[in-house]
Amino acid sequence: MGNNRLINAAFAAVVTAGLGCGLAAPASAQSITDRFKSLFGGKPDEPAPNADASKIEQDVGDLTCPDVKIRAGASTYAVAAPGKQPVGNDLRFQASITKTARECSLNGDVITARVGIQGRVIAGPAGAPATVQVPLRVAVVQGGVNEKTIATKAYQTTVTMTEGGSEPFTLVAEDLVYPVPPGATGDSYVFYIGFDPQALKPERPPPRAPKKKPAAPTQ
């Protein structure tokens, strides 16, 4: 019992140290220039070289690059030992999102978005594998009473774990394309991001066409 308490206390300390600075202030409190420096100009958790802020386009003509929000219930990704629940001593690792950024460019009647996601994977008491697959999803959603998904795509990134048990990850989705929103509807658009374990499952092959039965011989 005493050993279990020590393991849990150590894990909590690692989580606090690894994620505290990223979660203490919301992503919106950080300037977009700093976020792009962090995500697109440098390595995770390291100062990035100076970037020319004039090159960071937030407005695309009369259109606004949507804000990035983390989908409710998809801000963390916890994995347990086989057949167990991801809690307590059965937790193998947990991933969390700490920073986000976005950039939009206009090409004819479509918008191409670059959405950056930075986070951290923390090993749990059950021990993390040598490599961790982190599944993420980025979606363009028109908000309102009845939300409408405009475009969505799943992504994966591989994190190599070390003895420290706390590793950062960065993913930049560069190929999210969606049509230019009509009129002022673009003001209600948002980039929703989050972990999506379904992205790790292989796509089902298309169903095979039923074989045609041979025609009965004529007499």
Higher model confidence: residue 42 or residue 174? Answer: 174
Token couple for 22: 């990223």
Output the CA–CA distances (angstroms, integers) from residue 107 to 18, 65, 103, 104, in the order listed.
39, 14, 13, 10
What pLDDT is attached to residue 178?
A: 95
At 56 the pLDDT is 38
Q: How far is CA 17 from CA 53, 155, 168, in A?
A: 31, 27, 13
Do 94 and 121 meet the contact criterion of CB atoms below 8 Å apart?
A: yes
Alpha-carbon Rg of the chain, whole angstroms? 22
Enclosing H/E stretch for 132: strand 131-142
When mean pLDDT is compared across 26-40, 90-104, 120-134, 164-178, the lowest value belongs to: 26-40
d(CA 18, CA 27): 16
Q: Domain locations in the chain?
A: 2-26+54-200
Q: 96 in the Ramachandran plot: left (φ > 0), alpha (ψ -120 to 50) or beta?
A: beta
Cα 135 to Cα 170: distance, rounded to the nearest angstrom: 12
Percent of the chain whose pLDDT exceeds 70: 63
β-strand 189-195 against 67-70: which pairing, if any? parallel
Mean pLDDT on 49-69 = 56
Task: Give the position of tokens 């802020």.
Answer: 53
Q: Answer yes or no: is pLDDT of 158 > 60.
A: yes
The predicted-structure confidence for 4-44, as pLDDT tens digits, reads as follows 443 344 444 444 444 333 333 334 444 444 554 554 555 55
79: pLDDT strictly greater than 90: yes
Is the pLDDT higher at 96 or at 175? 96
Asked if the model's pLDDT at residue 194 lies above 50, the reply is yes
User: Which residue in the block uniquely carries the two structure tokens 């600075």?
Assistant: 21
Residue 110 has pLDDT above 90, yes or no: yes
Give which of 119, 98, 97, 89 is closest to 11, Cα–Cα.
Answer: 89
Does the structure show a pLDDT above 70 at 149? yes
Residue of 183, 187, 37, 194 lying closest to 103 (CA atoms): 37
pTM, entire model: 0.67
pLDDT of residue 8: 44
Over residues 127-138, mean pLDDT: 95
Mean pLDDT of 92-101: 94
Question: Is the pLDDT assigned to residue 219 strictly greater than 80?
Answer: no
Residue whose entry in the numeric block shows the structure tokens 């994190």: 159
Is residue 185 within 8 Å of residue 142, measured between CB atoms? yes
